[in-house]
Chains A and B, each alone.
Chain A
Amino acid sequence: MNKICVLQEVSYRAWHMWRRNIDVSLVTWKTNVLPPLLEPVLYILAFGIGLGAYVQKISFDGRAYDYLTFLAPGMIAVGVMFHATFDTMYGAFVRLRYQKTFDAIINTPLSAEDILAGEILSGGTKGLFAGAAILLIVTLFGLASYPSSLIILPLSALAGLMFASFGLYFAAQAPYIDNLNLPIFLFINPMFLFSGTFFPLDGMPGWVRLTAELLPLTHLVNITRAATFGRLHAGLFRDLVYILVLAVIVACLSINKMKARLIK
């Protein structure tokens, strides 16, 4: 009964679930559109202008960059992570536990796999939207090179799917909504700080770099930074493969785990 990868069981009906979630986001569009546009402005003010006044130049990949230019791609990656993860982590949890949305939809031709894949798709869409919005702001501040930065759009979608899968997994394993604090504390926040977002990993001790290598956000930051710096190179292919493989694995794990909770 259990195929190796549940994604094989997903039908086009997953898009119906995606549409449902997007419709909800459109109803409450102000609360969805403004944060990804305003958050980067806050970062730019606080870190770029505030902290940047003390940090003169950051040396990265053999060149010197001012701090704001260095930080900009990190903000994009962090935005994709937060928006995609939180969308499924809290959204799916609330729909499962409080709103009983899945219980209603499971009585229609959608299967549990369709419903949960739809959740991941809409979380990924939130990631894409956040990536695009922050990229827009960063571009307006003159912090992104083109055309290489355009790769950030499909990349945000892919990374969005990966983080949405993580979010769904966390939602699936949490008995109560308060339990979601744990993955934030143990996983999201360390990634936020230690994935090369705020400082380059080059000068760090070996174990820090090794740990960072394991964190998915690091790989997203690597590609995003190369893109805004206008310095994409073939070596980034392994970062891309890492994100792709992890996205598939975590999507399968999270759908399995959540399905077990949905259908007892």
Chain B
Amino acid sequence: MDPVIKVTDLRKNYGGLRAVNGVDFEIGRGECFGLLGPNGAGKTTTVKMLTCALPLSGGDITVEGMSVNKDPRGIKYILGVCPQEVNLDPDFSVLKNLLVYSRYFDIPYSEARKRAVELIDRFHLHDKLERPIEDLSGGLKKRLLLARALINRPRVLILDEPTTGLDPQSRRQIWDEVRGMKSNGLTTLLTTHYIEEAELLCDRLVIVDAGKIVEQGTPQELILKHLDGKGNLEDVFLKLTGRNLRDE
């Protein structure tokens, strides 16, 4: 079967900085694929090129056979994007955020309203329906971002550090949601620097550092290969990316 996402020799330069420096990977239908790496590894840059928000310096990305260079709009219709940075619309309430966002996908109002109510139920946002965004806690904002990413019933979900900065309860809630979506067969790309998150959610992952893939496989394969099956993914991660501090 053809991969849903195919990334070939992807490159992005910011001036002299090679933020993404020749990355290749493929994601199959229904797979949850992880992009694991320290801060500044190039995860967000990769995601932004995939979501057609950033031009490529080199290489290609296709989503269901469509190239980001040729058919960005076709791709954007089938993607659900949960960005790292919270960019909910502060001018609107929780409900209105979902309704306004659905318009961008040409979803008719009655359908949008139905979907919004479903999502609000599912993400336990009903108490906050009419509240402005600034009243929401960090965890609620992330949940609303995830709900918003699903309003167009995407075939591919992109989650850029969905749980960074959240308390354990909120994080677990997001994990449950992601696992639920995975069991529904949604193809997912997840970036994270939390090893246990990758271990828990991802079928397959790549470890990226300084714009390059340094290792790939299933979490078990990586532990087996690098630590003879003893230890955990965190040890593999530190072994491969070094112990130097990353200040972006």
- A140 interface contact, C-beta 8 A: no
Q: Hey, which chain B residues are within 8 Å of A263, CB to CB?
A: 53-55
Would A103 and B77 be within 8 Å (CB), given that A16-B103, A264-B54 are in contact? no
* In the complex, chain B residues 157-213 whose Cβ is within 8 Å of any chain A Cβ: none
Contact with B along A84-122 (1 / 0, CB 8 A): 000000000000000111011111111100000000000
B37 contacts chain A at the CB level, 8 A cutoff: no
CB proximity to A under 8 Å, residues B62-85: 72-73, 76-77, 79, 81, 83, 85
Partner among A19, A106, A111 whose Cβ is within 8 Å of the Cβ of B103: A19
A101 and B54 form a contact (CB under 8 A): no
Q: Which residues of B contact A100 (CB under 8 A)?
A: 85, 87
B89 on interface, CB distance cutoff 8 Å:
yes
Verify A107–B83 contact, CB threshold 8 A. yes
From 2 to 59 in chain A, residues with beta carbon under 8 angstroms from any chain B beta carbon are: 13, 16, 19-20, 23-24, 27
Determine the chain A residues whose CB is within 8 A of the CB of B105 once the complex forms.
108-109
By a CB distance below 8 angstroms, the chain A residues around B89 are 20, 99, 101, 104
Task: Let me know if A107 and B73 touch, CB within 8 A.
Answer: no
Within 8 A of B (CB), among A222-264: 263-264
Interface size class on chain B is 20 to 34
Closest to B77 in A: A109
Q: Which residue of A lies closest to B12 (CB)?
A: A264
Given A99-B89, A101-B87, A104-B88, is A111 in contact with B73 using a C-beta cutoff of 8 Å? yes
Find out whether the CB atom of B73 lies under 8 angstroms from the CB atom of A109: yes
Task: With both chains docked as a complex, state the minimum distance between the C-beta of A24 and any C-beta of chain B, in angstroms.
Answer: 4
Cβ contact of A107, chosen from B81, B90, B96, B106, cutoff 8 A: B81
What chain B residues lie within 8 Å of A107 (beta carbons)? 51, 53, 76, 79, 81, 83
Tell me, rounded to whole Å, the shortest Cβ–Cβ distance linking B123 to chain A: 17
Please encode chain A, from 177 to 216, with 1 for each CB lying within 8 Å of some chain B CB and 0 for all others: 0000000000000000000000000000000000000000
Per-residue contact bits, chain B 141-154, to A (CB 8 Å; 1 contact, 0 not): 00000000000100
**Distance in Å: Cβ of A98 to nearest Cβ of chain B:** 9
For A105, list chain B residues within 8 Å (CB).
104
What A residues does B91 contact at CB under 8 A? Answer: 24, 27, 99
The listed residue (B85, B87, B106) touching A109 by CB distance below 8 A is B106
Q: Is B25 an interface residue (CB 8 A)?
A: no
User: Complex: how many Å from CA A108 to CA B77?
Assistant: 7
Closest to A115 in B: B104
A20 touches B88 (CB 8 A): no
Task: Please give, as numbers and ranges, the residues of chain A lying within 8 Å of B101 by CB-CB distance.
Answer: 104, 108
A contact set with B: CB distance below 8 Å: 13, 16, 19-20, 23-24, 27, 99-101, 103-111, 263-264
Subset of 26 A-B contacts with CB under 8 Å? A16-B104, A19-B103, A20-B89, A23-B96, A23-B100, A24-B91, A27-B91, A27-B92, A99-B90, A100-B85, A100-B87, A103-B83, A103-B87, A104-B83, A104-B87, A104-B89, A106-B53, A107-B79, A107-B81, A108-B101, A108-B104, A109-B76, A111-B73, A263-B53, A263-B54, A264-B54
* 4 closest residue pairs by CB, A with B: A108-B104, A100-B87, A104-B87, A107-B81
